[in-house]
């Protein structure tokens, strides 16, 4: 641990709470800023963190600030403005966006902050709140080699794997590709389960073939824990956030000049789910939406 680093953290949600807890437990001085949900903030203060009332105040008390919020608009509002991070951070500071953000926004913020001597890094996350609490998340990091070396000891407090993927913006690009695969699995599993149910194959029969075979993976495990056991918290990633990510994927494909018919089909499944009022449900519950649209049930 570097004795000179002071850490700020904004976004004590499903992922951020565990991440911040691990930073503090590994001995780093920590300043946090919460939002409407007071419970995680009070927990962190009880563990020894300091609470700040604005993003600027977080930056004034930190050399490295982590953001774990919903999307690019929230990141931009926290960075910019008279009470933003940029106004409070000293030259040489680092802002790390662990959100799943739009790479175009990431590159714009990096250019703005570089003019102030502040480095902007993208380090989006993979895995679930369970791993966030355990300190075993995956992160894919976009920055230069020297910045990655400085960040690595702090990243290791909450990440089991911190992968230096490339330059600024590359972390968010890789995260979108990762989520394209993940949300594609969710849509594929949902349609396959509905097809099975309509054809007389129960989810239990479906699982007896897939589990333990070549088609099984970690994502399948948490997805099917909900389908089979009705465990709502098996994979806590909301449908509305999945839709946001698939829209970012679409924009990334457009910018690259790539035809992405599969990506659009996946996005439309999530758009339907959100449009029917299921946005606050979690990703495995897409299976219920698709089954219902086809006049069947999985439970």
Q: What positions carry a catalytic annotation? A: 175
At residue 55, what are phi and psi to the nearest 5 degrees? -65, -40
* Residue that is written with structure tokens 């739009």 in the block: 102
H or E stretch at 98: none
CB 35 within 8 A of CB 83: no
DSSP labels, 43-88: HHHHHTPEE-SSHHHHHHT-SEEEE--SSHHHHHHHHSSTTSHHHH
Q: Which residues of 44-72 are buried (b: 16+ CB within 10 A; e: fewer)?
A: beeeebbebebbbbbbbbbbbbbbbbbbb
CB 284 within 8 A of CB 238: no
């Amino acid at each position: 641990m570097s004795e000179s680093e002071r850490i700020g953290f904004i976004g004590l949600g499903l992922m951020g709470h565990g991440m911040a807890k691990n930073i503090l437990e590994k001995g780093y001085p920590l300043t946090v800023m919460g939002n409407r949900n007071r419970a995680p903030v009070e927990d962190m203060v009880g563990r020894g963190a300091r609470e700040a009332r604005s993003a600027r105040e977080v930056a004034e008390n930190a050399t490295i600030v982590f953001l774990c919020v919903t999307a690019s608009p929230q990141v931009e509002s926290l960075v910019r403005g008279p009470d933003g991070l940029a106004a409070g951070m000293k030259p040489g500071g680092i802002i790390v966006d662990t959100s799943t953000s739009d790479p175009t926004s990431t590159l714009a913020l990096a250019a703005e902050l570089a003019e102030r001597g502040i480095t902007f890094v993208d380090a989006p996350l993979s895995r679930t709140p369970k791993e966030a609490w355990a300190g075993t998340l995956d992160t894919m990091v976009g920055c230069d080699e020297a910045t990655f070396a400085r960040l690595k000891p702090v990243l290791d407090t909450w990440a089991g794997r911190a992968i230096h993927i490339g330059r600024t913006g590359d972390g968010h690009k890789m995260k979108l590709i990762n989520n394209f695969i993940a949300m594609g699995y969710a849509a594929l599993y949902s349609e396959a389960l509905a097809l099975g149910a309509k054809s007389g194959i129960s989810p239990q029969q479906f699982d007896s073939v897939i589990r333990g075979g070549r088609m099984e993976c970690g994502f399948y495990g948490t997805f099917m824990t909900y389908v089979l056991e009705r465990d709502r918290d098996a994979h806590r990633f909301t449908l509305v956030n999945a839709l946001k990510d698939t829209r970012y994927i679409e924009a990334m494909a457009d910018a690259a000049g790539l035809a992405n018919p599969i990506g659009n089909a996946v996005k439309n499944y999530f758009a339907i789910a959100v449009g029917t009022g299921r946005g606050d449900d979690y990703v495995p519950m897409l299976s219920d939406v698709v089954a219902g649209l086809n006049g069947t049930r999985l439970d």
